Amino acid sequence: MSAATAPPPEIQDGAPPTTTVSVAVREWFSRVKDGELGALPIVIGIVVIAIYFQLRNDNFLTAGNFVNLIAQMAAITVIGMGMVFVLLLGEIDLSVGYVSGMGGVIAAVMLRPDGSEFPTWLAIAGGIGVGVGIGLLQGFFVARLGVPSFVVTLAGLLGWNGVVLLVIGDKGTIVIQDKVINGLANDYVSHALAWIVFVASIGAYILQQILTVWRRGQSGLPNQPWILIGARIAAVAAAGIFIIEWADSDRGIPYVGLLMLALFVIWTFVAMRTRFGRHVYAVGGNAEAARRAGISVPGIRLAVFTISGAMGALGGIILASRLSSVDTSTGGGSILLYSIAAAVIGGTSLFGGRGTIRSAVLGAIVIAMIDNGLGLVNVSAGTKYIVTGLVLLGAVTLDSLSRKRSAATGRA
Amino acid sequence: MLLELRGVHKRFGAVTALNGVDFHVDSGQVMALVGDNGAGKSTLIKCVAGIHTIDDGDVLWNGEAVSISGPKDAGALGIEVVYQDLALCDNLDVVQNMYLGRELLSTFRRLDEAKMEKRAREVLKELSVTTITSVRQQVAGLSGGQRQSVAVAKAVLWNSKLVILDEPTAALGVAQTRQVLDLVRRLAENGLAVVLVSHNMSDVFEVADQITVLRLGQNVAEFDKDKTTQREVVEAITAGQLSRVPGMHEESIA
């Protein structure tokens, strides 16, 4: 080393087993200051929106409306989770609206009580299977043939809309009479079951945190201070208890609430803890680097569009469940744009490589709250769209500005 | 001799990129590969890395004939290439980049983050890379020299025996070039064979033990660093037409 280079700080050899709380807090503040906002803006946004609507109409923050919100956000959340994967690649899937329509319509057709109806599980599998098939087909065009995803899925948007119209035909509406499907969004988890799920989930979460600390300790790596880990567990537990008690003071948590929780855990695990998830981030960050690292870039693209198709179809079944029917407008309207907006408002970048499954949930909460709240204060559909558009623009602007800031401070 | 090429030919249609090239590098040695644009340096390292297959000639690894017909073959032998454009993912952290495509798994096919982080820290320490303070920071926030260090550490992570560096200092400032050259030297000291492709004669003379000169797909000279001068090497690169090279006049050469 020449004398000109300043001695750089070393990687600590005997790194302390835990960092201190003050260090962790300071690091968090400096990250926020440098433009890595994380979930902070959206949590603030949710609080502001809640206060605003509560002031305008004091029915907004009631248990009954809270239960409605869970059911209203479910489809957007589920479709948005698939969208997060697509956006992580830096691609887009414009077809998810009508893919959700296909999922709902196929399931409804298979359940039509004309003497030859299929069992419920088969109808659900059929609906999701169609979504998987569509995802594979569109993914093939994107991944193997190199057609831009914007065009492939735009064609899908038109094409699957057409198929929905043809399948429904001149019947206009298909009413769903299946109890399981309808119960998904319209029946409520019993108090006991809600608590069992809660205890099991928190137990698993605590176990996972302890195992992580233990494993890092075994490898001699520094850990977060116990008090921060404890605070995080306490926060999650408090949120869970609050949700259960609040919802149960009215009808309870709809079954789709459990479904959302399960999907959230599964997809977060896939994104953060598996090789596949890591490769999705890598392809979105630098496809050439991923290719040179031996990752099958077309394979990852194909898999992601398949996930998007499957989640789109599942979202469609949830939508059909809420309305207990499908009709010629199924899958249309604001579904597509709300799903993309949910992921983006939640903090997933449109340019690939950055985002979390959590963002779909947080974004869907914001969108459902605006949709629901504006309904309560009696504004027209026009105003609803304008406000949602402004929130989307605001969220993306905030994201761009914070990224500019993090690029300037070298965090990018 | 760890790697030896004899009479290697590579043709792309009517163009002969390599025309009977001999090349060798041994463990603990830094072999510089120099030559003008189009001399065949890139083609040669791509042949060694398995990106191109050779049309004719012999490849000897530890004295035994081998055929390298794909990047996997090269990787299996212990050959790693650090490309000029680094091939790192900005949105991933240092550990994630070092293990990209070869992630370690624990039970239930989960990523074994603790093991990967531990090993990454060890490798950076072995290479005395002291400029990277946190292995969990995103690569986007690193300087050019730090990124180059990550790319090199990624290459040596897999008990590789031969590391090929393609223009590692091309885009770096003075202090960072220093870091990378020190790193190159340390690789050789740790017993690896290193091939350094470079246009920069002062870099080459600083770290290389031997210098192979390519011109128009043929090797025209091989020098021991201690027994030659920059002028001699540059003459070999340009076929003695020094007057065509800016700055390369008699009086400007030490």
What pLDDT score does A51 carry? 94
Distance CA(B50)–CA(B29), nearest Å, equals 22
* A225 in Cβ contact with A20 (< 8 Å): yes
Q: How near does any CA of chain B get to the CA of A282, in Å?
A: 6
Nearest by CB to residue B133, choosing from A9, A278, A407, is A9
CATH of A67-187+255-403, one of 1.10.150, 1.10.3470, 2.40.128, 1.10.760: 1.10.3470
Partners of B111 on chain A (C-beta within 8 Å) are: 273-275, 278
Domain spans of chain B, in order of start: 3-252
Q: What mean pLDDT, rounded, does chain A reach?
A: 88
d(CA A42, CA A299): 33
pLDDT for the residue numbered A382: 86
Name the residue among A220, A275, A407 with its Cβ closest to that of B103: A275
Nearest 5°: the CA angle A224, A235, A38 is: 65
Q: Which among B86, B114, B142 is the nearest to A216, CB-wise?
A: B114
Interface with B, mutate which of A2, A12, A34, A292 (most B CBs under 10 A): A292
Average pLDDT over residues A6-34: 60
Distance of CA B124 to the CA centre of its chain: 18
CA–chain centroid gap for B178, Å, is 16
Specify the pLDDT at position A19: 65
Look at A8 and B121 and tell me if their CB atoms are within 8 Å: no
Task: Kindly report the nearest CA distance between residue B138 and chain A, in angstroms.
Answer: 7
Q: Give the CA distances from residue A239 to residues A150, A193, A232, in Å, rounded to whole numbers and listed in that order.
A: 38, 17, 11
Contact B88, A286 (CB under 8 A): yes
ipTM of the complex: 0.84
Say which amino acid occupies A324.
S
CATH number of B3-252: 3.40.50.300
Q: What is the pLDDT of residues B101-110, one digit of tens each?
A: 889 998 888 9
Contact A275 B111 (CB under 8 A): yes
Picking from B90, B100, B175, the nearest residue to A412 by CB comes out as B90
Task: Report the C-alpha gap between A352 and A335 in whole angstroms.
Answer: 22
- B20-33 burial code (b ≥16 CB/10 A, e <16): ebebbbebebbbbb
Identify the pLDDT of residue A18: 58
Of A275, A286, A288, the CB nearest to B105: A275
Residue A408 pLDDT > 80, yes or no? no
Neighbour tally for B248: CB within 10 Å: 17
Residue A154 identity: L
**Which chain B residues contact residue A218 at CB under 8 A?**
114
Residues 6-65 of A with CB under 8 A from B: 7-11, 13
Interface contact A281-B89, CB threshold 8 A: yes
Q: Are B111 and B132 in contact (CB under 8 A)?
A: no
Q: Tell me the pLDDT tens digit for each residue of A231-289.
A: 999 999 999 999 999 999 999 999 999 999 999 999 999 999 999 999 999 999 999 88
Q: State the pLDDT at residue B111.
A: 92
Put simply, the answer to whether B141 touches A295 (Cβ < 8 Å) is: no
Q: Which region among A10-24, A144-158, A190-204, B226-240 has the lowest average model confidence (pLDDT)?
A: A10-24
From chain B residues 32-91, the ones with a CB under 8 A of any chain A CB are 71-72, 83, 85-91
Alpha helices in chain B (DSSP H): 41-49, 71-77, 94-98, 113-126, 144-156, 174-189, 201-207, 230-238
Specify the pLDDT at position A7.
Answer: 42
- Of A137-146, A183-192, A310-319, B127-136, give the lowest mean pLDDT range: B127-136
**Sheet of B30-35, strands arranged across:** B79-82, B162-166, B193-197, B30-35, B210-215, B218-224
Tell which of B51, B92, B107 to mutate to test the A interface (max A CBs under 10 Å).
B92
Residue window 330-359, chain A: list those with CB within 8 Å of chain B.
353-354
Residue of A153 and A382 predicted with greater confidence: A153
Residues of chain B with pLDDT under 70: 86, 240-254
Give residue for tokens 């400029």: B131
| Residues in chain B within 8 Å Cβ distance of A408 | none
Structure tokens at B172: 């770096």
- Of A11, A278, A290, nearest to B111 by CB-CB distance is A278
Positive or negative CA dihedral for A292, A298, A302, A308? positive
Q: How many degrees, rounded to 5, is the angle at CA A229 between CA A226 and CA A232? A: 150
Which of B81, B100, B125, B131 has the most A C-beta neighbours within 10 Å, making it the best mutation to test the interface with A? Answer: B100
Please give the single-letter amino acid code of residue A292: R
Confidence (pLDDT) at A407: 66
Decide: helix, strand or coil at residue A99.
helix
A276 touches chain B (CB under 8 A): no
- Quote the minimal CA–CA distance from B71 to chain A in Å: 9
Q: What pLDDT was estimated at residue B148? A: 86
Domain residue ranges in chain A: 67-187+255-403, 188-253
Q: pLDDT exceeding 70 applies to what percent of chain A? A: 92
Query: Which of A37-46, A147-156, A217-226, A337-346 is predicted least confidently?
Result: A37-46
Q: With an 8 Å Cβ cutoff, are A292 and B131 in contact?
A: no
The reported pLDDT for the residue numbered B178 is 87
Q: Is the distance from CB of B11 to CB of B40 less than 8 angstroms?
A: no
pLDDT at residue A32 tops 90:
no
d(CA B68, CA B72): 8
Pair B39, B240: CB distance under 8 Å: no
Tell me the average pLDDT across A341-358: 90
Cβ–Cβ below 8 Å for B92 and A411: no
Q: Inter-chain contact A293–B92, Cβ cutoff 8 Å?
A: no
> CA B157, CA B113: separation in Å to the nearest integer?
15
The whole-number average pLDDT for the span A281-300 is 92
Position A138 scores a pLDDT of: 97
Check pLDDT > 70 for residue A61: yes
Residue A65 token pair: 């409306």
Strand partners, A174: A326
User: Would strands B210-215 and B30-35 be described as parallel, antiparallel, or unpaired?
Assistant: parallel
> Which residue from A329, A285, A56, A401 is spatially nearest to A168, judged by alpha carbons?
A329
A123 or B218: which leads in pLDDT = A123
Task: Give the Cα separation of B240 and B245 in Å (integer).
Answer: 10
Q: What's the per-residue H, E or C state across B159-180? A: CCCEEEEECCCCCCCHHHHHHH
- Cβ–Cβ below 8 Å for B89 and A278: no
pLDDT at A33: 66
Q: Tokens 């390519």 — which residue?
A: B214
Per-range mean pLDDT, top range of A299-313, A384-398, B178-192: A299-313
Sheet of strand B3-12: strand arrangement: B15-25, B3-12, B56-61, B64-65
Measured between beta carbons, which residues in chain A are less than 8 angstroms from residue B85?
288
Q: State how far residue A85 is from chain B, nearest Cα, in angstroms.
A: 15
Retrieve residue B30's tokens.
């830094």
Could you tell me if B136 lies within 8 Å of chain A, comparing CB atoms? no
